[in-house]
């Protein structure tokens, strides 16, 4: 009869993984709330044109679209929440004093999967700081990501920093490159393709070497850059990681651009021990207001599924079976003490069938 399987790239999260994801989310958003980040919950779908124009260089190409029978316009189910936060910051919260600190969590949908991320539905959790992309702002955001993941029990963190607009900045100044070649150069540098880089702009070759453990890579990048164009970026980077060394692993890959299409001076990917792919990313970006004014912002997003799949959120299952005829007040008292009670509803029900670890017998809790 009906189709039981889900479409490729979609899945149901079952117990105990859905519980683990919910706990992870609560811990992350709780840490964010304690730093003044207030929850927003943007609409799941909106006008495609409203979503597309808000972040400089953001795109909606892979969004699920449908025609709205009410407005006859094309609506898109959000493929990303950050662009929605940008829209809200620029419109309904446009007159709110800056910086604005916002947090969010919800599903995002893509029409097509990519090779790197086969999921078409992901749960995105994040924080955005709007109105600033200074070093102080970057320190707060990176530090909050680390603190929030720590609060959620995620261990073995490492952060890989990048400088998304580095190549454009150099190509427009000290190391001129023909405008039509900048995109190819950026892409070849990202791919660490020394041959192609040498053919386009050999002066950029040392950037390929300036990747790896943070301190060494930072030193090589500083050595490469004699003219001082990167001085503020280099000292900014240094200040952002200050205090993180020892707590988390730190690397630098200054020309990594893939996945940082709309970021400006700073980008970062977050990894955790046991997770096969990145568990989050963030960086600075630019919001475009109604009047064309641009505003700096910085934030991070985490992917709950990648974290839970790596088994990083600890799970405990302690269930107390309450036989028929037990005193309801006793069960209520035990719930108030933190027990999960599972009431028998039929004579034949058993603790085993209800996956219970404990039994209420003669008013006492017995381990099974």
User: Which residues fall in the annotated binding site for L-histidine?
Assistant: 80-82, 124, 128
CB of 367 to a second copy, least distance (A): 17
**248 makes contact with a second copy (CB under 8 A):** no
Please identify which residue in 27, 102, 130, 152 interacts with a second copy, judged by CB under 8 A: 102
Element (H, E) at 105: strand 100-109
**112 makes contact with a second copy (CB under 8 A):** yes
- Choose the binding region for a second copy from 51-59, 179-187, 188-196, 207-215 (rule: CB under 8 A): 51-59
CB of 312 to a second copy, least distance (A): 17
Question: Do the Cβ atoms of 365 and 330 come closer than 8 Å?
Answer: no
Please identify which residue in 205, 231, 340, 368 interacts with a second copy, judged by CB under 8 A: 340
Q: Which of residues 275-314 bind a second copy (CB under 8 A)?
A: 288, 290, 292
Q: Which of residues 121-180 bind a second copy (CB under 8 A)?
A: 121, 123, 132, 134, 136-137, 140
Q: Tell which phi-psi region holds residue 340, choosing left (phi > 0), alpha (psi between -120 and 50) or beta.
A: beta
Q: Which of residues 249-268 bind a second copy (CB under 8 A)?
A: none
**71 makes contact with a second copy (CB under 8 A):** yes
**345 makes contact with a second copy (CB under 8 A):** yes
**64 makes contact with a second copy (CB under 8 A):** yes
Cis omega (within 30 of 0) on the bond before 16?
yes
Question: Do the Cβ atoms of 282 and 290 come closer than 8 Å?
Answer: no
- Under DSSP, the state recorded for 27 is H
**16 makes contact with a second copy (CB under 8 A):** yes
**75 makes contact with a second copy (CB under 8 A):** yes
CA dihedral (132, 138, 142, 147) in degrees, to 10, reads: -70
- Say how far apart CA 234 and CA 228 lie, in whole Å: 10
Cis omega (within 30 of 0) on the bond before 359?
no
CB of 341 to a second copy, least distance (A): 6
- Closer Cβ to a second copy, 136 or 172, answer by number: 136
**207 makes contact with a second copy (CB under 8 A):** no
CA dist list (Å): 203 to 78, 182, 184: 40, 13, 15
**198 makes contact with a second copy (CB under 8 A):** no
**19 makes contact with a second copy (CB under 8 A):** yes
**235 makes contact with a second copy (CB under 8 A):** no
**54 makes contact with a second copy (CB under 8 A):** yes
**22 makes contact with a second copy (CB under 8 A):** yes
Please identify which residue in 58, 60, 101, 230 interacts with a second copy, judged by CB under 8 A: 101
**Which residues partner with 342 through β-bridges?**
321
- Say how far apart CA 191 and CA 208 lie, in whole Å: 9
- Closer Cβ to a second copy, 69 or 195, answer by number: 69
| 360: CB partners within 8 A, 6+ apart | 320, 321, 322, 323, 326, 330, 331, 334, 341, 366
Question: Hey, what are 296's tokens?
Answer: 């700096």
């Amino acid at each position: 009869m009906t189709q039981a399987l889900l479409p490729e790239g979609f899945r149901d999260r079952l117990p105990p993984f859905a519980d683990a994801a919910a706990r992870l989310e609560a811990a992350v958003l709780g840490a964010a709330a304690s730093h003044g980040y207030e929850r927003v919950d943007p609409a799941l779908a909106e006008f495609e044109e409203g979503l597309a124009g808000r972040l400089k260089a953001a795109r909606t190409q892979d969004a699920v679209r449908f025609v709205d029978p009410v407005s006859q316009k094309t609506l898109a189910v959000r493929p990303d929440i950050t662009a929605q936060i940008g829209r809200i910051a620029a419109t309904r919260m446009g007159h709110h004093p800056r910086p604005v600190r916002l947090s969010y969590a919800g599903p995002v949908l893509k029409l097509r999967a990519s090779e790197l991320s086969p999921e078409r539905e992901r749960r995105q959790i994040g924080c955005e700081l709007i109105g600033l992309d200074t070093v102080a702002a970057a320190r707060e955001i990176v530090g909050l990501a680390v603190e929030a993941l720590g609060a959620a029990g995620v261990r073995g963190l490492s952060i890989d920093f990048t400088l998304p607009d580095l190549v454009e900045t150099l190509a427009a100044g000290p190391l001129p490159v023909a405008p039509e070649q900048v995109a190819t150069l950026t892409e070849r540098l990202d791919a660490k393709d020394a041959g192609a880089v040498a053919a386009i702009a050999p002066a950029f070759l040392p950037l390929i070497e300036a990747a790896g453990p943070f301190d060494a890579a930072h030193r090589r990048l500083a050595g490469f850059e004699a003219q001082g164009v990167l001085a503020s970026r280099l000292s900014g980077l240094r200040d952002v990681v200050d205090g993180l060394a020892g707590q988390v692993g730190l690397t630098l890959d200054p020309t990594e651009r893939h996945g940082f299409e709309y970021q400006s001076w700073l980008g970062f990917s977050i990894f955790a021990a046991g997770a096969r792919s990145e568990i989050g990313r963030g960086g600075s970006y630019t919001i475009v207001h109604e009047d064309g004014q641009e505003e700096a912002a910085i934030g991070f997003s985490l992917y709950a599924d990648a974290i839970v799949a790596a088994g990083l959120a600890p799970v405990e299952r302690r269930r107390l079976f309450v036989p028929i005829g037990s005193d309801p007040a006793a069960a209520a008292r035990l719930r108030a003490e933190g027990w999960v009670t599972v009431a028998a509803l039929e004579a034949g029900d058993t603790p085993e069938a209800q996956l219970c670890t404990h039994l209420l017998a003669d008013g006492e809790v017995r381990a099974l």
